[in-house]
Amino acid sequence: MQTLQLLISGIAQGMIYALVAFGYNITFSTSKTLNFSLGNFLMAGGVIGFVLYMTRGYPFWGTLLGVIAVGAVGGAILLKVAVEPSLRQRNAYGWILATLAVGIILRNAAEVFWSTDDFKFRSPLGDSPIRLLQHLRPDGTLSAGLGVYPQELLIIVVSLAIVAGVEAFKRFTVFGKAVQAVSEDKDTASLMGIDQRWVILSSFMLSTAIACVAGVLVAPITLVSATMGTVLGVKAYSASIIGGLESGIGAVVGGLFLGISEALTARFVSTGYKDVPGFVVLILLLLFKPSGLFGRAVIRKV
């Protein structure tokens, strides 16, 4: 029963890692760059969602739409300002610092223009846990059973839907094929008449929009604050490395692995070591299978 409770915590946490990790995958597969400000886009989503939903009282679906719009526009700006210049100059690594810088700017902006405190984001589905698997004790009272927050179920459902939707889009539509072609070979795809700039732009917009949605989804479980995305961004990055940077399924598996290992280690080993197994596996993978669990080994033809 206890372990089951921990698994639920771990899975919900893992799906959040997976969602952000998926955002890393999307831009990597089209442009071979990573958007290191995703964690802070998640924060921006949480904060803007908080302002719209809690402060202004907009309905939840309207909040989601607003956050998606902000995320998409933010992604486009990020690409134009931070990533494209360094790609154009063939400066292979300028975008690393540039995207990190955008993340820092986002966080500081939230601290200055919004608040430095932590706030409670009320779940649209209610904040009381659903009780499962309760049984009658001999003295006639109900046992506590499992406590699951409705929001956790929402996170799992929405995350899986987003990942499945994007993967299906990539595999079964013409646009999806174009994306895959660009990720396979940018220059040849261009020669075939695919506008690779458009593909890269939409991949950035999609990844930041997903991160912003993730922010609204996690906010009721965590708290909303200007620093809520910092740790999540790093954990999600390791999740996507564990799973393999090019694989959508890999992001989910990597995220779940991290989330579950954290919960179980905290309980059965020590709370101080809860991050250790994930990072040990990360290092082992980097040593023996650098492309990740589900990644294809990169073969460079010269």
Q: For another protein, give the closer residue by CB, 131 or 197.
A: 131
Q: For another protein, give the closer residue by CB, 97 or 231.
A: 231
What CA–CA distances, in Å, run from 58 to 50, 214, 233?
A: 10, 18, 27
Q: For another protein, give the closer residue by CB, 69 or 132.
A: 132
- How many residues in the shown chain lie near another protein by CB under 8 A? 33
User: What tokens were used for 84?
Assistant: 């494209």
Rounded CA separation 186/31 (Å): 8
Site string for another protein, 172-191 (x = CB under 8 A): --------------------
Cα 12 from chain centroid?
12
Rounded CA separation 141/71 (Å): 48
**How far does the chain reach from its first CA to its final CA, in angstroms?**
56
Query: Which residues are bridge partners to 119 per DSSP?
Result: 224
Q: Minimal CA–CA distance to 124: which of 156, 157, 149, 148?
A: 149
**Bridge pairing between strands 130-132 and 146-148:** antiparallel
Task: Please select the residue that binds another protein; options are 227, 277, 291, 293, rule is CB under 8 A.
Answer: 227
Site string for another protein, 258-277 (x = CB under 8 A): -----x--xx---xx-x---
Site string for another protein, 104-133 (x = CB under 8 A): -------x----xxxxx------xxx-x--
Task: Please select the residue that binds another protein; options are 225, 238, 240, 261, rule is CB under 8 A.
Answer: 225
10-69 positions binding another protein, by CB under 8 A? 13
Q: Minimal CA–CA distance to 12: which of 265, 230, 214?
A: 214
Q: For another protein, give the closer residue by CB, 116 or 188.
A: 116
Q: Does 145 bind another protein (CB under 8 A)?
A: yes
SS3 124: coil
Which positions touch another protein (CB under 8 A)? 2, 5-6, 9, 13, 111, 116-120, 127-129, 131, 143-145, 147, 149, 221-223, 225, 227-228, 231, 263, 266-267, 271-272, 274
